Structure 1
Amino acid sequence: MELIAHTTTNLITFVLAVYVGYHVVWNVTPALHTPLMAVTNAISAIVIVGAMLATGLTVGTAGKAFGAVAVALAAVNVFGGFLVTRRMLEMFRKKGSGKTAATQANGASR
């Protein structure tokens, strides 16, 4: 007989992870936010690979459906993360250096 059930242990771990995660994210300085977003995008890409492997190794239909949903949600997370990171990096550019690729190509050909 176990002293504490596995469900209780998992619930305590989840609550502590949420608490620590909240304080870690809100105490990040703005200068470190963009590099951390890029690392988070890389981790999400690894999650996509793991979800694809888990989906491929699953036997049941329900497992394959949940795996496909996990792959789709991780892909949305990666795509959105890269968009947010790009917008944040554009905020740090100087006003004069914000030329588009088409403007640079036209200027170079003249």
Structure 2
Amino acid sequence: MDAFAVITITVLAVFLGFEVVSKVSSTLHTPLMSEANAIHGIILLGAIMVAEQATEPLPLLLSVLAVLLATINIVGGFVVTDRMLVMFAAKPGRPARKESAK
């Protein structure tokens, strides 16, 4: 593939990803974050494999950048997921809510 095709596919993928994620309701963000962490784990492994095989400076630089960004994204995803789960955890010393009988 030539460079124009690769750039076109990348730009379209970015726009499509933004549109898909922006349409997700807030109740689904935690499961979506877990899926994104799994996808970024695959991207991280692929970037490490590319960095290992790189013989020229540009592919090596881009693969190292991909490793860095994927790592930041994975760690950030776990931090956000943990914070969201803490928000829904029961508070200590607070009795659980009981449903009123009708």
Query: TM-score surpassing 0.5?
Result: yes
Coarse TM-score class (shorter-chain normalised): 0.7 to 0.9
Q: 1:38, CA displacement in angstroms?
A: 0.6
Q: Which structure: larger Rg?
A: 1
Give the length in aligned residue pairs: 93
The match for 2:34 is: 38
**In the alignment, which residue of structure 1 is the partner of 2:91?**
95
**CA separation of 1:39 and 1:62: change in aligned 2, threshold 3 A:** same
What is the one-letter code of the residue matched to 2:76?
G
Pairing of 1:8-87 with structure 2 (within 5 A):
10-11=7-8, 13-14=9-10, 16-87=12-83
Q: Which runs of 5+ in 2 are unaligned?
A: 94-102
**Quick check: which one's helix share is greater?**
1
Q: Quick one: structure 1 residues 16 and 88, their matched pair in 2 at CA, closer, same or farther if it must change by over 3 Å?
A: same
> Gapped runs of 5+ residues in structure 1?
98-110
Deviation at 1:61, TM superposition (A): 2.9
Q: RMSD of the TM alignment (CA)?
A: 2.7
